[in-house]
Structure 1
Amino acid sequence: MSLRICSLSLLLAAMFYIAGCGVYSFTGVSIDAETLSIRDFINEADNGPPDLAQTFSNKIKDYYQRNTNLTLIPEGGELLLEGVITGYRLTPVSPQAGNQNEFGDLSALTRLTITVQVSYINENNDQFNFENKNFSFFSDFDSDENLTAIENQLIEEIYDQIILDIFNASVANW
């Protein structure tokens, strides 16, 4: 009986010790803050839909709220994210003889690339801060497809990856 109590006591002590060592989550994120401010992103890209920045701002705020315990506040958060969409570029990827797309290019695929420049400030630990770091991702589509018909889907795919990369570089510390 006393061996059982001793084992249980050691187990409880180990659990309290581990719990006291830091803030843990099942997503692998260890955050030493309680509040986050994400300023609305600005669109400085030459082309793209007019709501490009607003869509990105909403998606990144939603992502951080779903994947952390942080309270999102408009200003003065212990963590701060802000940035600018700097690129929205369409480029031909895979040339194909005699197949001219709507852009006048001879290609089978077109690549949509979006670039976002982000600054991150951690008031509790400036070791993780970064300024004007570029995050970019792309999605390819068949050049025969009408961009306006699939543009929102492509933007969603690209944004999902860019937001994951920003999340990993900031609070996940990867």
Structure 2
Amino acid sequence: MLKKILLAFCLVMATACTIKFTFSGASIDPNMKTISVYYFQNQAITVSALLAPTFNDALNQKIQRETRLQIIPEGGDAIFEGDITDYKSEPVAISGDEYATKNRLTITVKVKYTDNLNPKNSYERTFTNYADYDSQQMLANAEGTLIPEIVEKLVQDIFNAAFSNW
């Protein structure tokens, strides 16, 4: 009799608990069905025409690829909003004759993530990332490869902060 009760208890516990594993490492509340991603405007002093569309597209694609969430224009169970606040290039490696040998492109994004189902998961944070390039290369020529590289790192950090509890 005790074995039957124990077996019944184990079956009830096994069906009552749900565990979700994903390859992305995301842990999303099963009740969350929708997300709204508002357009991140480029508010930086220096503006690149590539930056805002590249960033917004990358964030949307990341969510579509690695979650089951439906992206809706507004009123989602979760919301991403914010601005691109900085875009700058500075020398980072100086040679013996005091010339820059490497420059660094840095992009900063201010993000507000609102989890309407679990407000404790919400955050407002600033994310910064960069990539270096040869100082002999003009920024206008380098940004076509640098911006996607930096944006990929930024989007990964933003995604992890929202869905992986990092």
- Indicate whether the TM-score tops 0.5: yes
What residue is the counterpart of 1:145 in the other structure?
137
Measure, in 2, the Cα distance between the counterparts of 1:53 and 1:19. 44
TM-score normalised by the chain length of structure 2: 0.86
Give ranges in structure 1 of 5+ residues lacking alignment: 1-5, 100-105
Give ranges in structure 2 of 5+ residues lacking alignment: none
Measure, in 2, the Cα distance between the counterparts of 1:139 and 1:18. 48
Higher relative contact order structure (alpha carbons within 8 Å, sequence separation ≥ 6):
2
What residue is the counterpart of 1:28 in the other structure?
25
Return 145-154 or 75-84, whichever deviates more.
145-154
Could you list the per-position Cα deviations for residues 116-156 of structure 1 after superposition, in whole angstroms to 9, with x for gaps in the alignment? 0000000110111112x100001001101122222111001
What residue is the counterpart of 2:104 in the other structure?
111
Measure, in 1, the Cα distance between the counterparts of 2:94 and 2:23. 45
The ranges of structure 1 where at least 4 consecutive aligned residues each deviate by more than 6 angstroms after the TM superposition are none
Q: Percent identity?
A: 37
What residue is the counterpart of 1:47 in the other structure?
46
Q: Secondary structure at the match of 1:90?
A: strand
Return closer, same or farther for 1:156/1:51 CA change in 2, 3 Å cut-off: closer
Measure, in 1, the Cα distance between the counterparts of 2:91 and 2:65. 36
> What is the Cα deviation at residue 23 of structure 1?
3.8
Measure, in 1, the Cα distance between the counterparts of 2:23 and 2:90. 39
Give the CA RMSD over aligned residues.
Answer: 2.2
Measure, in 1, the Cα distance between the counterparts of 2:74 and 2:50. 23
- The number of equivalent residue pairs is 158
Q: Secondary structure at the match of 2:56?
A: helix
